[in-house]
Amino acid sequence: MSKRSYAGTYAVRGLQALVCLVLVTGVFTRNPSVVVNALLGLAVTFVPGVIERDYRVTLGPGPALWVTTAVLLHSVGMLGLYDSVPWWDHLTHTLSATVVAGAAYAVVHAVDIHESRVHLDDTFMAVFLLVTTLGLGVLWETMEFVARDLASALHLRPVLILYGADDTIADLVYDALGGLLVAWFGTRRLDGLANVIADRLD
């Protein structure tokens, strides 16, 4: 492992430790929203490592660092920044959307490389990434509403924060922005990862 890989791995572990700190804070303050979001987010940060181990795909520390940063910002937001910092929600939605779009691009482009009968041009990929991030964004917003109504029915404190229809629309706009950012600037950086996945498909 190179020095750069070691540095990336240590950075990921440091960010995971900060998510754990948020989790502990949620436990001590008896805040189920913080606890649930930090716990689920922490589990997500291990997904790149599981993919590397179980599917023998060499991802490197970059994807894990990307995912863990998104998780940390969301987890910290649950401590009150979503309420006190107006742009924090926009930041986390945009970053999370880039993670979704990046993963979608890497997988679909890998299939494009692997299958000679498939050819996906840049325009198709841009539209695909936009639709994917918006689709998953709608699914996430729907889950937020369902979780709120379920918690209300059970007389529990909701684990996700809802601010109304205007906020939902804004969230989807920033989800779309994340997808477009990957389409405009991120595809070349993800081509290497797509090639690694394509090799694994062989």
The secondary structure of 113-179 as a DSSP string is HH-TT----HHHHHHHHHHHHHHHHHHHHHHHHHHHHHHHHTT---SS----HHHHHHHHHHHHHHH
Write out the chain's pLDDT in tens, 202 residues. Answer: 555 577 888 999 999 999 999 999 999 999 988 999 999 999 999 999 898 888 778 888 889 999 999 999 999 999 999 989 989 999 999 999 999 999 999 999 999 998 888 788 889 999 999 999 999 999 988 888 887 778 778 777 777 766 777 888 999 999 999 999 999 988 888 998 888 888 887 6
Q: Count of CB atoms within 10 A of residue 15's CB?
A: 21
Note the residue count of the chain: 202
pLDDT at 61: 86
Do the beta carbons of residue 65 and residue 148 sit within 8 Å?
no
**Torsion angle (degrees, nearest 10) of CA 72, 78, 82, 87:** 10
Q: Which residues contact 104 (CB under 8 A, 6 or more apart)?
A: 128, 129, 132, 133
Q: Cα(2)–Cα(31) distance, rounded to whole angstroms?
A: 41
Name which of 200, 198, 201, 192 is nearest 60 in CA terms: 192
Q: Cα(183)–Cα(101) distance, rounded to whole angstroms?
A: 8
